[in-house]
Amino acid sequence: MRFHSPQKLKTIADLIGSAFVGPEDFEILGTNEIHMVKPGDIVFVNHPKYYDKALNSAATIILIDKEVECPEGKALLVSDDPFRDFNKINTHFTRIYNFTEELHDVEIGEGTKIHHSAVIGNNVKIGKNTLIFPNVVIGDRTEIGDNVVIQSNTVLGGDAFYYRKLNGNFDRLISVGNVIIENNVEIGNGCTIDRGVTDSTIIGEGSVLDNQIQIGHDTVIGKKCLIASQVGIAGCCIIGDEVTLWGQVGIASGNKIEAGSVLLGKTGVNRDLEKGTYIGMFAEDFKTYLKKEVKLRNLK
């Protein structure tokens, strides 16, 4: 999430009531979670296991639960509960409506047709010649391009599945990102595409999604991808251009699929994949899999 204007380190520290390490006027441009951080961002960390990852990330401000040595050129915000204070910063700069108010600040391009049963949130932009079917739900801050088709019962911009366990209950990391649907995308019936926690979930130009597909927060789907029904993609994945995912493919969070790859039905992904054709619970090269099957069947 980018702030509307740069903020100062002391201003953010005062907002959350934390100590800080660094110059008072150290510039802060926004927030992001660890997979998406850029220079100028705040990232939070609340476990020693991830201190090094956060401190050595692209983020230049680390919201942390212990005062540690601050890397050169960076700053610290020292909090007793970084998760809570990350939520506090995000919701201070991004108002959460959750369909409780209708501001009617929606931009709709020429030639676009929206069924009267569709529900549209605030700060939504929809391009030209787009078609939105009955019972579609479009969450706040969603951006939809030109010549897009969104079929019935699809939900764009639901909350990210991102929690911690606190006092025996689950505590949500509040989603202040959005969904971006680029031009010439087609999305089938009953799909759910979560908005980014602090960044954007993106469906690339010309991609086609079948029915009943789940795409997690901050995932980026490339251009001209083809995704069959019941595919599930977790958060913060990067799917390259012209990737084909056949039915019931499952991809764990934070993985990358190289452009041009094909994942056959029910393939499971728990690591980054180079360009190729894959099958199986642990995404095995398809030719290797076939050779193995032949050897197994020839055993006596």
Q: Which of 4, 92, 116, 217 is catalytic?
A: 217
- The verdict on whether 47 is a catalytic residue reads no
Convert the chain into a string of H (helix), E (strand) and C (coil).
Answer: CEEEEEEEHHHHHHHHCCEEECCCCCEEEEECCCCCCCCCEEEEECCHHHHHHHHCCCCCEEEECCCCCCCCCCEEEECCCHHHHHHHHHHHHCCCCCCCCCCCCCEECCCCEECCCCEECCCCEECCCCEECCCCEECCCCEECCCCEECCCCEEEECCCCEEEECCEEEECCCCCEEEECCCCEECCCCEEECCCCCEEEECCCCEECCCCEECCCCEECCCCEECCCCEECCCCEECCCCEECCCCEECCCCEECCCCEECCCCEECCCECCCEEECCCCEEHHHHHHHHHHHHCCC
- Catalytic positions: 217
